[in-house]
Copies of this chain bind each other. A is one copy, B any other.
Amino acid sequence: MSNTVSRKDEELIREVIEDVKPAMRDRDAERIISRYAPDVVMYDLAPPLRRPASETLDPQRRRDWFAGFEGPIGYEIRDLDVTAGTDLAYAHSLNLLSATPVGSPQGFELWFRATYCLRRDGDRWLIAHEHTSTPFYMDGSFRAALDLRP
């Protein structure tokens, strides 16, 4: 593996991951979905424990999710750290979702952790596994820790 190839791969991988930002802005379900492998395994912010590929790749499900928010849907990716190998790659970041639910007097901002596992597919990279989460307070309240900031 030459450093040159690795640097170009790292750029491609960053593009795949960060393409979620304009896709969220434009509420473009297909653009989000096009980044995933057909057998993607998703560990999402909300239940279930494991989301099957059929749901992750369903554009109508994403459009329904978009429809739950008024105005712009903001998405930031901070501290994105990419490790690119010959045939696989992984990356992690701290992400910020900001949006206003329909009917809500005000919006929310939610910081969460994201891990991306990718595999090479010809001359592109696909996300084969994604894990997003917040930690939870082990103080007896069992509340999701939605108030953390990086």
Q: Which residues of A contact B (CB under 8 A)?
A: 1, 41, 43-50, 79, 81, 83, 85-90, 92, 94, 111-113, 115, 117, 119, 128-129, 131, 133-138, 142-146, 148, 150
Of A129, A136, A150, chain B has the most CB atoms within 10 Å of the CB of A136
Pair B50/A94 contact, Cβ less than 8 Å: yes
Closest 8 A/B residue pairs (Cβ): A133-B133, A136-B144, A85-B88, A90-B117, A43-B113, A86-B86, A85-B87, A115-B131
CA gap between A46 and B135 in the complex, in Å: 5
Total copies of the chain? 2
Given A47-B148, A90-B90, A150-B49, A134 and B131 contact (CB-CB distance below 8 Å): no
Chain B residues within 8 Å of A137, by CB: 46-47, 144
Contact B131 A44 (CB under 8 A): no
Known A-B contacts: A1-B87, A47-B148, A144-B144. Give 8 more (CB < 8 A): A46-B137, A46-B138, A48-B148, A49-B112, A86-B86, A86-B88, A142-B143, A143-B144
